[in-house]
Structure 1
Amino acid sequence: MNRLFLRFFALVMLSISVATLAIYASITLFFGDPLDEVAQQQASGQILLLTEYVDQAGPDEWLTRLNKIREITHARLELIPLQSAQAKVVAAKQAQLMRGEVVIDVAGKSFYRRVDLKGERYIGSDEEVIHAQELPINVAPVLKTEALRYIIVALCLLIPIAIWSSTHWRGLQALEKVADEFGAGHLKVRAQTSERDSIYPLAQRMNQMATRIEALLEAQKNLLHSVSHELRTPIARLEFALELLRNAAKNPQLEPRMQAMEADVAELNALVSELLDLGKLDQLDHDAKHNCSEIELSDSLKNCVAGLQHVLAEHQLVMDLATDLGSLRADQRLLMRAVSNLLRNAAKYTSGRIWLVAKRTDSTVEIVLEDDGPGIPAAERERIFEAFYRLDRSRDRNTGGFGLGLAITRKAIAAHGGQIVVQEGQFGGARFIISLPLQAP
């Protein structure tokens, strides 16, 4: 049973209950309590004997006829003081009792009626009330009939609603599945609905939106690749021209300038490579999976550190790798690229020491990288993962970087179903925590 139908069910039952109470209150207000009318019909025999037989007797025979009725009927008839009757009758029916009318007590299966209003039956008869008890009053069948009637009405309403909501819910679930797959990067997926479905207009809008987003992303991808490849051509020409210039000109005064030009060309090359890598991670979807395999995490981290000795040589690296790290299903190149970016980043800002810690829990592997540098302000800790965003102190060429390294790192970790967060370290520097699920997504 779906949530949509449950909500309709609750709404319909609440509406029927409110309607029932409103109908009962309206009928009672304008025509009197319908249960009293039913009870009065059921007690009509005793009422008829009282009004047509006992009340027709003269003052001398009134009590005699009342006693005869007591003998022939199963009801128990008693004479009680008016004050006692007023105490037992509800306030809404006090006036009815004082007018000498029959007052029905449905719950007590009885009725009250004054003997008379002027004391004509016997002395003090205007101060006494006939209390008829144990009457054949039973409103349960009537209540059951009314309940059955409302149940039938509810079923007649709920069955069509159930059929409609079931179809509608299946359509919504199909749209939810399409939205989840599209959000996961499967840009080719589309909602398949019939024109007769109630959600058909919504599905069409979603399909149009998906087509537009796919086209925009494809255009962005093509533009990135085109620009990157177009940049590589003049870069290659510059490298070739610099090599010719170096061979042709042996002037020592030009050597520093040519080295600076070569550094610029290398920087452009690195920027193009970073852009291409970022574009590949942006386009990572169901049709372009990363190459996952079982890797020994401890060995991979050690190899990654060994490959960065030229960067880490001037700093003290403290490695604490748990002995039970074991294997992990991941793209080794992509994952180690993320760790490498963090190590390079730590080497730029550390005052001397870097910590690399890895441990395993029941469901995740946690890799922690920390340095004792100036740290990252709390307000900047989320923005540093944005492409081309750099802190003010890293804008100069000495610290370098294009603001793409951490963006690539986050995307690489997300491609493995993991998360990366940055905190203040124990020694005041930056503390990056990578959490990876043991089972690759």
Structure 2
Amino acid sequence: MNRLFWRFALLVMLAITLATCAIYFTFSRLFGDPLEEIARRQAAGQIFLLEQYIDKAPSDEWLPRLNKVREVSEATLELQPLPAALAALPSSKRAQLLQGAVVIDVGGKAFYRRVDTTGARYIGSDDDVIHAQRLPIDIGLALGMEAIRFGVIALFLLVPIAWWTRRHWRGLLALSKVADDFGQGNLAARAEVRPASSIAPLAGRINDMAERIGLLMEAHKNLLRSVSHELRTPIARLEFGLELLRERHAADDPALQKRVVAMETDVDELKTLVNELLDLTQLDQAQSMARQPFALAPLLTGCAPPRGSATTPARQFSASIADDLGELQGDARLLARAVNNLLGNAAKYAASRIVLSAVRDGAAVRITVEDDGPGIPPEARERVFEPFYRLSREQDYAASGYGLGLAITAKAVQLHGGAIAIDDALLGGARITITL
């Protein structure tokens, strides 16, 4: 059963219980205690004998008739002083006893009644009370019948509620699945519910929203892809023109040669940006990838930069890669690029140390890159994975890059079914952890 049904069931049971209590107290106020009335009906035979047989006897035969009833009745009829009977009754019923009425004791399966109020039966009879006990009073039976009535009403209420909530819950699950699929990049996901469903209007609005978002995202991707492709042609022309300029004119002019080198550096940066844009666009469009088994430990070992390389100039690099990492089904080249992006990012900001580590944690593998740089503020740790996002601080503007490396890394990890997170490193900088 779904959670929606159980919530409705709890509310229905609570409402019926409260209604039963309200009815009981209302009837008690207006017409007397219903349980007492049930007990009075069950003890009607003994009350009839008292009122129609014993009380009808002449004064000198009243006690003999009482004794005859004692002999044949299963109930116990005793005489006790009026003060003792008053003390045994709650204050709300003492006035009834004093007036000569039959007072029912439901819990004790008994009743009280004065012999008379005038002392006509015998001397001092107005100070005695008949206490009838062991009466055939069974409130449990009445309560059981009420419980059955309660259950039947609850059943007839809950069956249609269960039918309705089941259809409603299935519609909600369909909407939830659409939201999950849409969030995972399946822009074609749509909610399919029956037109008569109570959530059909909501599903229609969600589908309309998904359609508009899908069109916007597709237009955005097409723009990035088109611009990136179109930029390659003028970049190639610039490279060719700079090469001709270097060969024909820059050889005899050092200032011009220096300027050409600077322009070639700018063109290389532009090529890098275009390539990263194309890579990010391709990853965004990829719903899946070709998976092949590959060993993790050798791949990570190959990602470690050689000592003294340009990736980690003047920085101490250390790696701690466990041997029991096993194999992973995925794209080895794509995962290696993700790790290399993290190492390159750490090299830009580390002061003196970079550490790459990988360990197995049960069924998961954790790959960690940490450094002793300035770190990443907690409020920006989610946004740094967005394309083109850069922190507004001096180190980020001084470092080269376009804010695409971490976005590509996050997408690559997502395609492998993993997760990526940032926290504070023991070295003092940032620690980025990939969990596969």
Answer yes or no: same fold by TM over 0.5: yes
1:189/1:42 Cα in 2 relative to 1: closer, same or farther (>3 Å)? Answer: same
- The 5 A counterparts of 1:335-350 are 335-350=335-350
3-state secondary structure, aligned to 1:389? coil
The residue type paired with residue 292 of structure 1 is R
Look up the match of 1:42: 42
Q: Distance in 1 between matches of 2:199 and 2:377?
A: 48
3-state secondary structure, aligned to 1:116? coil
Q: Note if contact 2:273-2:402 (Cα within 8 Å) is conserved in structure 1.
A: yes
Question: More displaced, 42-51 or 154-163?
Answer: 42-51
Gaps of 5+ in 2: none
Shift of 1:59: 3.6
1:115/1:182 Cα in 2 relative to 1: closer, same or farther (>3 Å)? Answer: same
Look up the match of 1:296: 295
Q: Distance in 1 between matches of 2:143 and 2:347?
A: 84
Shift of 1:32: 1.0
Shift of 1:6: 1.8
Q: Distance in 2 between matches of 1:138 and 1:395?
A: 85
Match of 1:254 among 242, 253, 256: 256
1:274/1:210 Cα in 2 relative to 1: closer, same or farther (>3 Å)? Answer: same
Match of 2:274 among 263, 272, 275: 272
Q: Note if contact 2:359-2:366 (Cα within 8 Å) is conserved in structure 1.
A: yes
Q: Distance in 2 between matches of 1:301 and 1:41?
A: 88
3-state secondary structure, aligned to 2:400? coil
Q: Note if contact 1:394-1:400 (Cα within 8 Å) is conserved in structure 2.
A: no
The residue type paired with residue 70 of structure 1 is R
1:132/1:314 Cα in 2 relative to 1: closer, same or farther (>3 Å)? Answer: closer
Q: Note if contact 1:372-1:427 (Cα within 8 Å) is conserved in structure 2.
A: yes
Q: Distance in 2 between matches of 1:394 and 1:364?
A: 34
Shift of 1:210: 1.6
Look up the match of 1:281: 283
Shift of 1:377: 4.7
Gaps of 5+ in 1: 437-441
- The 5 A counterparts of 1:373-384 are 373-378=373-378, 380-384=380-384
Look up the match of 1:113: 113
Look up the match of 1:205: 205
Shift of 1:395: 4.3
The residue type paired with residue 256 of structure 1 is K
1:297/1:273 Cα in 2 relative to 1: closer, same or farther (>3 Å)? Answer: same
Shift of 1:394: 2.9
Question: More displaced, 191-200 or 124-133?
Answer: 191-200
Q: Note if contact 2:304-2:319 (Cα within 8 Å) is conserved in structure 1.
A: no
Q: Distance in 1 between matches of 2:20 and 2:74?
A: 35
Look up the match of 1:439: none
Deviations 1:388-416 (A, max 9, x none): 2334233445x311122222222222222
Q: Note if contact 2:59-2:121 (Cα within 8 Å) is conserved in structure 1.
A: yes
3-state secondary structure, aligned to 2:311? helix
Shift of 1:181: 2.1
Q: Note if contact 1:78-1:131 (Cα within 8 Å) is conserved in structure 2.
A: yes
Matched, 1:360 2:360: yes
Look up the match of 2:90: 90
Look up the match of 1:404: 404
3-state secondary structure, aligned to 1:63? helix
Q: Distance in 2 between matches of 1:214 and 1:327?
A: 36
Match of 1:263 among 236, 255, 265: 265
Look up the match of 2:394: 393
1:395/1:196 Cα in 2 relative to 1: closer, same or farther (>3 Å)? Answer: closer
Question: More displaced, 166-175 or 25-34?
Answer: 166-175
Q: Distance in 2 between matches of 1:136 and 1:396?
A: 94
Look up the match of 1:324: 324
CA RMSD of aligned residues (A): 2.4
Q: Note if contact 2:316-2:354 (Cα within 8 Å) is conserved in structure 1.
A: yes
Shift of 1:383: 4.0
Q: Note if contact 2:350-2:429 (Cα within 8 Å) is conserved in structure 1.
A: yes
Q: Note if contact 2:305-2:312 (Cα within 8 Å) is conserved in structure 1.
A: no
3-state secondary structure, aligned to 2:60? coil
Q: Distance in 2 between matches of 1:380 and 1:162?
A: 46
Question: More displaced, 355-364 or 214-223?
Answer: 355-364
Shift of 1:101: 0.3
Matched, 1:431 2:431: yes
Shift of 1:306: 5.5
Shift of 1:21: 1.6
Shift of 1:142: 3.1
Normalised by the length of structure 2, the TM-score is 0.90
Q: Distance in 1 between matches of 2:126 and 2:202?
A: 77
Deviations 1:319-343 (A, max 9, x none): 3322223322221121111111122
Identity of aligned residues (%): 56
The residue type paired with residue 293 of structure 2 is E
Question: More displaced, 45-54 or 104-113?
Answer: 45-54
